[in-house]
Chains A and B, each alone.
Chain A
Amino acid sequence: MIMNLYYYLFYKISRFLNKKGNNEWGVMYAFSLLIGCNIGLIYIKVLPVTKENFNTGFKTILIVILIVLFIINYILFLHKNKYKYIVKRYENETLRNKNIGNFLVVTYVVLTFLSIFFI
């Protein structure tokens, strides 16, 4: 279920950024950035990270987490062009599902964006 949501989010961003089919890395980038922002926010809220101690090791750990995230995303989506199958899987969704999906994804993106300023 969670993976399906993950794939679906990728598909939606792909629809937005990769209409010509030549920008899979751009999609990867934007998608990873969204997830990375979420992870980063959770990271600094859950752990006792402050402006002063961020550079004392917390930043390095976060960088490693982000790199791992990027590699996992690469394996999930770009390796052996798996993203094509993912896009194909969701391509034929019904109009109703499409509208709901669009609404949820846009909400998620906006919330992620707002969280940067207001959390």
Chain B
Amino acid sequence: MKLDNYISGYAGNISVYIIDKGNATLYYTIADHLGSLTEITDQQGMLVQRMEYDAWGNRSLLTDNTGMGDYLFDRGYTGHEHLDAFKLINMNGRMYDPVVGRMLSPDPFIQDPSDNQNFNRYSYCLNNPMMYADPTGYYGGGSGGNSGGNGYYINGIPVSQYIFNAWYNINLLDPNNFALEGYGNVLSQYSINQREVKEYYSRYEMLQRFLSDPIMAQKLKEYNNLTNGSATLEPDPPYSALNNISVHPSFNASAYYVHGNHLPGNDDPPLQNNLGGNTNTTNTVPSLFNWTNTGANAAAYGAYKVGGTFRLMKSGSVSLGWYKSGWSTGNQYVKTTYSLSKLGKGIGYGTSFVGAAIGVINFELSDKSWGDYGQLGMSFLSSGLTCFPATTLVGIGLGAIDIIGGFNGFYNYLDENQHLYNNTGLIMIPSGIMGIPTFFKLK
């Protein structure tokens, strides 16, 4: 049994006292301005290990005089615990993913409402990791100064535009035929991409889209420490293909991770409904993968990867009840939002329809002057445009303008009698207000 005692002083961690099988060793640590451990020395001051970090906390070993080829202990970036098996950093309050520079769960606190960076609940240290650290996982702290950050961009596109939150599988053409573990987390723009996330959860296009970007594919490979092989997507398996998954024992309490074990033959038609059979430790979800992980790398990842496993990294605390209605709390949220959007769509189309029909009846009852014809034409035009997806918004927009009398001047211009046009009424206004935003979301 190995016991690591981290001894802290005013400036953070200063030494580590390791007791391993009865042998006690004291190491001293040197940290950078953020508290990241950069050098480890022994009691004589001789360098034992030297590490470096990129801006977002990915750790690499520069010098290793121990001969073990691995980090001496888990603490590293900003003094926090690295979970190398998951390539995550435990920020105490939340888990942080240095690969994408995002937390896995939203921040329950808004540290500074006057800074709009705070409203990105998944961002790390106001997107300014060079200046700030996040000792608690909730509140950032640092050397002060301007907190403005530019976010994290890949290929000119904010990472948040990519929907990482997925299970992706890379079948590498390397000698080990090693199928990578895929994971993702919910990114900052999750909230506005809810429907997209929902769709891509169940659709394979997300994976294709992900891999179609060479930089993202390369990023994925780098993240998995692979230099060889190319990323290819497995054929889309049937949605009903299930894996049995279970919460990893190490994380049972907080349950941030759910691991799936895909054993050979599990591609067979499922015996269980994917939404049923929940217990505290097991569950079933549809698999997007066809695992071929038989290489030596499997062992390196420990039991939770052997045999081809996947993990579902979710934000927030995991309740397996999630899976009763979706794949995650995120999906539950998406589902709700989707319903509301459908309601909005119904209201949009419904009120537009009522407006157009009343417009026709108005014409029926009118003197059929040129102005009336103009209004009828506008009704036809707006309703016709509303019928086609590409022009729906234009149709609704025209209808909305007509409803509030925006075209009355035009009708009066046509109508020498200066007829006062009786528009459909205020009932149509919700069409514009509620319908239009939801069309964007639902199309």
Q: Which residues of A contact B (CB under 8 A)?
A: 17, 22-23, 25-30, 32-33, 36-37, 40-41, 43-44, 49-51, 54-55, 59, 62-63, 66-67, 70-71, 74, 116, 119
Chain B: CB-nearest residue to A59: B358
A17 touches B387 (CB 8 A): yes
> Taking the nearest CB of chain A, how far is it from the CB of B400, in angstroms?
15
CB-CB under 8 A from B345, the residues of chain A are 25
CB-CB under 8 A from B383, the residues of chain A are 29-30, 33
A33 touches B422 (CB 8 A): no
Alpha-carbon gap, A41 to B346, bound state (A): 24
A67 touches B389 (CB 8 A): no
26 A-B contacts (beta carbon < 8 Å): A17-B387, A25-B349, A29-B353, A30-B383, A33-B356, A33-B357, A36-B353, A36-B354, A36-B356, A36-B357, A37-B357, A44-B361, A49-B365, A51-B365, A54-B362, A62-B361, A63-B425, A66-B357, A66-B358, A67-B350, A67-B354, A70-B346, A70-B349, A70-B354, A116-B360, A116-B376
B386, CB-defined interface residue at 8 Å: yes
> Of A27, A51, A63, A119, which is within 8 A of B358 by CB?
A63
A44 touches B349 (CB 8 A): no
B364 touches A41 (CB 8 A): yes
- Within B310-356, the residues touching A (CB, 8 Å) are 345-346, 349-350, 352-354, 356
Alpha-carbon gap, A19 to B354, bound state (A): 25
> Taking the nearest CB of chain B, how far is it from the CB of A18, in angstroms?
9
CB-CB under 8 A from B367, the residues of chain A are 51
CB-CB under 8 A from B350, the residues of chain A are 67, 70-71, 74
A26 touches B365 (CB 8 A): no
Alpha-carbon gap, A69 to B366, bound state (A): 24
Alpha-carbon gap, A2 to B350, bound state (A): 24
Alpha-carbon gap, A54 to B363, bound state (A): 12
**Among the interface residues A33, A43, A71, which one has the most CB atoms of the partner chain B within 10 A?**
A33
Closest 3 pairs between A and B when the two form their complex, measured CB to CB: A36-B357, A26-B387, A40-B361
Q: How many A-B residue pairs have CB under 8 A?
A: 83
A23 touches B358 (CB 8 A): no
Alpha-carbon gap, A59 to B428, bound state (A): 14
Chain B: CB-nearest residue to A37: B360
> Taking the nearest CB of chain A, how far is it from the CB of B432, in angstroms?
15
B153, CB-defined interface residue at 8 Å: no
Query: Size range of the interface on B?
Result: 20 to 34
| Interface of B, helix, strand, loop or mixed by DSSP | helix
| Interface of A, helix, strand, loop or mixed by DSSP | helix
Fill in one digit per residue for B384-396: 1 if any A CB lies within 8 Å of its CB, else 0.
Answer: 0011110010000
A40 touches B387 (CB 8 A): no
> Taking the nearest CB of chain A, how far is it from the CB of B150, in angstroms?
37
Given known pairs A26-B387, A29-B386, the reply for A54 and B365 (CB within 8 Å) is yes
Chain B: CB-nearest residue to A119: B364
A26 touches B360 (CB 8 A): no
Alpha-carbon gap, A50 to B362, bound state (A): 10
B46, CB-defined interface residue at 8 Å: no
Known contacts A25-B349, A66-B353; can you find 18 more A-B pairs with CB under 8 A? A17-B387, A25-B345, A26-B388, A33-B353, A33-B356, A36-B353, A37-B357, A40-B360, A40-B364, A44-B365, A51-B365, A54-B362, A55-B422, A63-B354, A66-B354, A70-B354, A74-B346, A116-B363
- Within B384-443, the residues touching A (CB, 8 Å) are 386-389, 392, 422, 425, 427, 443
Alpha-carbon gap, A74 to B346, bound state (A): 8
B358 touches A17 (CB 8 A): no
CB-CB under 8 A from B358, the residues of chain A are 40, 59, 62-63, 66
> Taking the nearest CB of chain A, how far is it from the CB of B353, in angstroms?
5
CB-CB under 8 A from A41, the residues of chain B are 361, 364
Alpha-carbon gap, A50 to B386, bound state (A): 29
B388 touches A17 (CB 8 A): yes
Alpha-carbon gap, A119 to B358, bound state (A): 16
> Taking the nearest CB of chain A, how far is it from the CB of B305, in angstroms?
39
CB-CB under 8 A from B349, the residues of chain A are 25, 28-29, 70
Chain B: CB-nearest residue to A13: B387
Alpha-carbon gap, A4 to B330, bound state (A): 41
> Of B354, B366, B392, which is within 8 A of A51 by CB?
B366
A63 touches B427 (CB 8 A): yes
Alpha-carbon gap, A43 to B356, bound state (A): 16
> Taking the nearest CB of chain A, how far is it from the CB of B396, in angstroms?
10
**Among the interface residues B345, B349, B350, B358, which one has the most CB atoms of the partner chain A within 10 A?**
B350
> Of B357, B366, B389, B443, which is within 8 A of A40 by CB?
B357
Given known pairs A25-B345, A26-B392, A74-B346, the reply for A44 and B357 (CB within 8 Å) is no
> Taking the nearest CB of chain A, how far is it from the CB of B406, in angstroms?
20
